Chain A
Amino acid sequence: NAGVTQTPKFQVLKTGQSMTLQCAQDMNHEYMSWYRQDPGMGLRLIHYSVGAGITDQGEVPNGYNVSRSTTEDFPLRLLSAAPSQTSVYFCASRQDLNQPQHFGDGTRLSIL
């Protein structure tokens, strides 16, 4: 089983550029989330989805957009990259909201 797959693993962007971080899961999980991880800050929720066509904001949503057109995929879009968005981004999925989350291996993003 692939579980949660994130691409790319590494990316360097210039300020102002846009890009999409991809996340796919093959476990038929309804619930998917995006987190960013920064030193000393733990994991902070950016956006989440409780099913195809339904998304909502987390703790730190500004500068990011998401969509959920299928159960499997949950891409995260940076509209105009800023140095403050330099971070490690993790996608997670779970079967329902009372079950543990399964994480991908992350995308390491640097904004110059």
Chain B
Amino acid sequence: QKEVEQDPGPLSVPEGAIVSLNCTYSNSAFQYFMWYRQYSRKGPELLMYTYSSGNKEDGRFTAQVDKSSKYISLFIRDSQPSDSATYLCAMSPLHGSSNTGKLIFGQGTTLQVKP
């Protein structure tokens, strides 16, 4: 079983839809959660990161973390064609003496927003 599982999609939605992207994880030591967006033939770019359970909002994007269920989500409101990309979740334990802060990535979900 992979430490981080992410539905690869592809996911296709009409413009203006609310998109929900999800990852589950098995390692209860993960404390640091990120979402990256990757356009075709480009490197991943950081969208959001959080250390805590609950919701974190940034414009049309909301990151949600539920540590008790080992489940994180990224919601995109009023989706736009420019949101079409692959979205990667990533997580790690907080850096300490027993770990080196290595990030573990999900497989990525490909999203297409149709005009």
Interface residues, chain A, with chain B CB atoms under 8 Å away: 4, 31, 40-45, 48, 50, 56, 58, 90, 96-98, 100-106, 108
Most buried by B among A45, A90, A97, A106: A97
CA distance A58 to B103 in the complex (A): 10
Check A103/B43 contact, CB under 8 A, given A96-B95, A98-B32: yes
Choice from A44, A90, A100, A104 contacting B46 with Cβ under 8 Å: A100
Contact (Cβ within 8 A) B102 A45: yes
Interface residues, chain B, with chain A CB atoms under 8 Å away: 4, 6, 8, 32, 34, 36, 41-46, 49, 88, 90, 94-95, 100-103, 105-108
Choice from B100, B102, B108 contacting A42 with Cβ under 8 Å: B108
Check A41/B102 contact, CB under 8 A, given A96-B95, A105-B43: no
Instruction: Give the nearest-CB partner of A40 in chain B.
Output: B107
For B44, the chain A residues whose CB sits under 8 A away are 43, 90, 103
Q: Which applies to chain B's interface (DSSP): helix, strand, loop or mixed? A: loop
Interchain Cβ contacts within 8 Å, total number:
53
Q: Which applies to chain A's interface (DSSP): helix, strand, loop or mixed? A: strand
* Additional 6 contacts, C-beta under 8 A, given A98-B95, A102-B46: A40-B107, A42-B4, A43-B90, A100-B34, A105-B41, A106-B43
Contact (Cβ within 8 A) B43 A43: no
Check A58/B102 contact, CB under 8 A, given A41-B107, A97-B95, A98-B95: yes
CA distance A95 to B104 in the complex (A): 18
For B88, the chain A residues whose CB sits under 8 A away are 42-43
Instruction: Give the nearest-CB partner of B48 in chain A.
Output: A100
For A102, the chain B residues whose CB sits under 8 A away are 46
Instruction: Give the nearest-CB partner of A56 in chain B.
Output: B100
Contact (Cβ within 8 A) B108 A106: no
For residue A107, give the distance in angstroms from its CB to the closest CB of chain B: 10
